[in-house]
Structure formats: structure tokens, C-alpha cells
Structure 1
Amino acid sequence: MQKVYVISGTMCTVDLWQYVFPKLKNILPVHIDIIPANSFEEINQMILNHIKEPATIIGFSLGGFSAMNFATHHPEKVKKLVIVAANTDGLNESEIQLRKSTIDFLEKHTYKGISQARIQQFLHPDNHRNSEIISVIKKMDADLGKDVLLRQLRATSTRLDISQKVLSLNTPIFFIAAENDALVNLKKLKEFVNKSEKGTCIMIKNCGHMIPLEKPEELASILNFTIN
């Protein structure tokens, strides 16, 4: 069994991977919980606490950005990166503004849980009424709650563009992206991969941002291929 380290995204627990992990072959996933972190420096330390020798790291969304950022600081600890639904250039302007307004709102109001509109931003239109996927997203959000949401938004919304640093890595990077992801700029991602000597981009059709929940079988199949 090959051990791999897995990092989830904003307001995501290990539940995010519940349909993926059982389909992995000869792979032992170790989930790194970055929820308590107050900065990317603390995230780097949390990853460092788990990894003792060069490892394969799988990261989803914020976890993907965190994995790449970790690799730029500790390249000797990374054998391979698998980046799911994330880019190297941080957040787009509209997402940054949304997060700022969310922080302002949460500081003054009671948090009633993730809205249906926000959930739909994460999903392909085919899944806007998928009760199973929606229930997982709502459960993760409810399990973590307002304090975690505020901490994660404050700690991780200022994401500098790390493209040049990632390009200089001598590490194989597999980007797994969805064609209908509203949060990742696919044009920029493809441009980045074209510049990269070690980068590969694998596209998933009919899928939004939540690849591990929307296309778990396809994702597991890709992971089995890229890791083994």
C-alpha cells in the first residue's frame, strides 16, 4: 500500500472523500486536518508534522493551493502533487470580494448555515437538486460552524500568485479540473500547464467545483492511474 496525504478545502472535512477513498487501489490515504490553521505558515507546519519523507500529496481546492504552497517551501518533502479543483494564481476578484462581504456579515449576524445559492455555485447544474451531494456539503458546513468559517476565510483568502514558484519545482504535478468549475479559471490553468515541464492537466466533463462528491468514481480512477 502506498501512503498518500490528502488535504481538503474550505469548510470541508474528511467526509468530502467518503465516495473516493473506498475506490482507491493499493493506496492508503492519510487525511491532514488543516481546519485549526490561522495562516498558510501554520498549514505548512501541519503538513510538515505528518510528512517525514518525500510524499505524494493530494489537495482539493484550498487544500490544493496549500499543497502547492507547501511544495514551494519544502520541495524536498514532496514526491508528487495531485491538485484537484485548484489553481496557482489564488482567488479571482469576485471570490475575494464575496469572502470579504461574508466576513463582514458573519461578524455582525448569526450564521444559519451555507445557503442554497452558494451550494449551487459549487455544483454542476445537473447536481443543483442532488439531495445526497447537497446533504454532505450541508453536514460538513454544520459540523464546522461559524467560528471555523470565519477563521478559514480570514486565514486563507489572501492567496498570492505562486505560479512562478510552482513552475520552478522539479516535481510532477497532476491538475484534475472540471469543465464547469465556476471557481477555477480553466484558461489560466491550461496556460500554466503549457508552461510547465512537469505539469499535466486532466479534465472532467459535466462537473462543477466539488469533484470528489460529483464525480467520485472518475476521480478515484484518475488517482489510481496517477499515483500507482
Structure 2
Amino acid sequence: MMPLETIVLLPGFLCDERLWAPLVPVFSERYNVRVVDLKHPQNLDAMIEEVGKTSDQAFHLVGFSMGGYIAETFATRFPERVLSLSLVAASVGALSEKTRAARLKMVGLLRRGKYNGISEKEMDRYIHPDFLKDPQVVGPIMQMSADFSSEQYINQTLATVDRIDKGAALQELSFPVLIVAAANDRVVPLESLKNRHAQISRSKFRVIDHCGHYVPLEQPAELGQAVLDFVGR
């Protein structure tokens, strides 16, 4: 019997393995599944090292949001380790100066205070309105973020605030790329991901309808099918 291939899942900013909990059982039917800890590494290189530890062999790499940037970075540094790359609601290119300044301002505030997590009042920016009262969506988001310390928030921010656009580098490589956008995402605009798809000629593009930014929690069935269709092509 052939050994199973591995799917490696990368959480986003202020997320952990709970983000992927609805999808692990789905992927586990056909693949070995590993979720990377991006909460405790203290910088970008340490995050990349954690990704590399997940398997001795090449693997399918799936990154959500900030985890998409980590996935892109790993894939361009170690393309021989990547069977395929799936980027879910992952912003493209360098951060705008406005966004960068806002994140660094938050770092300054948290060096003098305590991070308390995403509040319920903030949730309408991140998820589709129809899920605002859904405890299976709202609960994990609030719980994950509340479990981050100020130091961990700062580490993730500083590790990813000076982003380098990976589009040209990805275009030059050969592994398949899937770009997943959410139709109602207010964090990562659909149009920006369409542009990234156009930039990488071999990429596939999938839009998940009725969905805000937290795709793995809002629409796990659709996302799971999209990834399985892609990696099992």
C-alpha cells in the first residue's frame, strides 16, 4: 500500500488548531494531516522552521490569511518540499503604509498593556452577517484570540508586518497553486485575489459564496471540497 501524502495546515493571525478543527476529519480520510503551531514561534524564520518540521517528505501546504503569507514564504524558499500550495483568504503583496502603521501602533500599545482578544462587537468585520449568532463560528474566533498573550500578538505582528510580494517568485515555480477567496470578505478583497490569480498563470481560483474572512469556520464543507478537488486533481 502506498503511504498517504501529507496536508499541512497553517492558521492565521491570532488563530491556532481550532481554526482547522472542522476540516481535519475531512482531510484525514485521504491524507496525513498536520496543523502547524504559529502561536509560539517568535519570528518569521522560526515559523518557517515549524512548517518544515511537519513532514520528512514533500507535502500539500494550505495557509489561511497570515498563514498564507507564511505558506508562500516557505514555498518560495523550499519549493522542493511543496506538492501543492493552497492560499485561503490570504492578502497579497506588501502591506499598505496605513495598515503597517496601524499594526505597529498596536504593538506599541500592547507593550504597555494586555491583549484581551477579539470582541463580539468587532465580529461583523470578520464574518458574514448570517454567522454573527452562530456559536460554532463566533466562539472559536473569540476563544482563540483571547488565548493569545500580548507577547504572542506582538511576535506574530512583527514577523509579518514587512511583507515581500511573492507573486513573481511563485510564477517562476512549478507546483500547482490554488487561490481561495471569500465573496463577502471585508479583510482581504476579492478583487486583490483575482489579481494574484492572474499573476500566477498556472493557478486555480475558487470563490466561496456566503462567506466572510474566516472561511475554514464559516464554510468548512465548501472549503474542504475545494482543497480536496485541487490536491487530488
Q: Same fold (TM over 0.5)?
A: yes
2:12 to 9, 16, 28: 9
Structure 1 segments unaligned to the other structure (5+ residues): none
2:110 to 101, 106, 112: 106
Task: Assess if the C-alpha contact under 8 Å between 2:114 and 2:149 holds in 1.
Answer: no
Q: Residue by residue, what CA displacement relative to the aligned partner does 1:164-197 show, whole Å, maximum 9, x if unpaired? A: 1122121100011101112213223212212322
How far does residue 70 in structure 1 lie from its aligned partner after superposition?
0.8
Report the counterpart of residue 33 of structure 1 in structure 2: 37
Report the counterpart of residue 192 of structure 1 in structure 2: 196
How far does residue 92 in structure 1 lie from its aligned partner after superposition?
4.1
CA shift in 2, pair 1:130/1:92, >3 Å: farther
Distance 2:127 2:101 in 1: 20
Structure 2 segments unaligned to the other structure (5+ residues): none
How many matched pairs?
228
CA shift in 2, pair 1:128/1:94, >3 Å: farther
Paired residue secondary structure (1:50): coil
Task: Assess if the C-alpha contact under 8 Å between 2:43 and 2:155 holds in 1.
Answer: no
Report the counterpart of residue 46 of structure 2 in structure 1: 42
Q: Which moved more, 1:30-39 or 1:62-71?
A: 30-39
2:152 to 148, 155, 158: 148
2:166 to 159, 162, 168: 162
How far does residue 93 in structure 1 lie from its aligned partner after superposition?
4.3
Distance 2:187 2:101 in 1: 13
Task: Assess if the C-alpha contact under 8 Å between 2:113 and 2:150 holds in 1.
Answer: no
Distance 2:22 2:144 in 1: 14
Q: Which moved more, 1:3-12 or 1:102-111?
A: 102-111
Q: Residue by residue, what CA displacement relative to the aligned partner does 1:19-64 show, whole Å, maximum 9, x if unpaired? A: 1222333122111112222322222222222232221111111111
Report the counterpart of residue 179 of structure 2 in structure 1: 175
Report the counterpart of residue 22 of structure 2 in structure 1: 19
Distance 2:45 2:116 in 1: 30
1:120 to 115, 124, 132: 124
How far does residue 206 in structure 1 lie from its aligned partner after superposition?
1.3
Give the share of equivalent positions with the same residue, in percent.
Answer: 27
Report the counterpart of residue 136 of structure 2 in structure 1: 132
How far does residue 86 in structure 1 lie from its aligned partner after superposition?
0.5
Task: Assess if the C-alpha contact under 8 Å between 1:51 and 1:77 holds in 2.
Answer: no
Letter in 1 for 2:109: F
Task: Assess if the C-alpha contact under 8 Å between 1:207 and 1:215 holds in 2.
Answer: yes
CA shift in 2, pair 1:112/1:143, >3 Å: closer
CA shift in 2, pair 1:102/1:113, >3 Å: same
Q: CA RMSD in A?
A: 1.8
Is residue 227 of structure 1 aligned with residue 220 of structure 2?
no
Letter in 2 for 1:155: A
Paired residue secondary structure (2:170): helix
Distance 1:12 1:158 in 2: 20
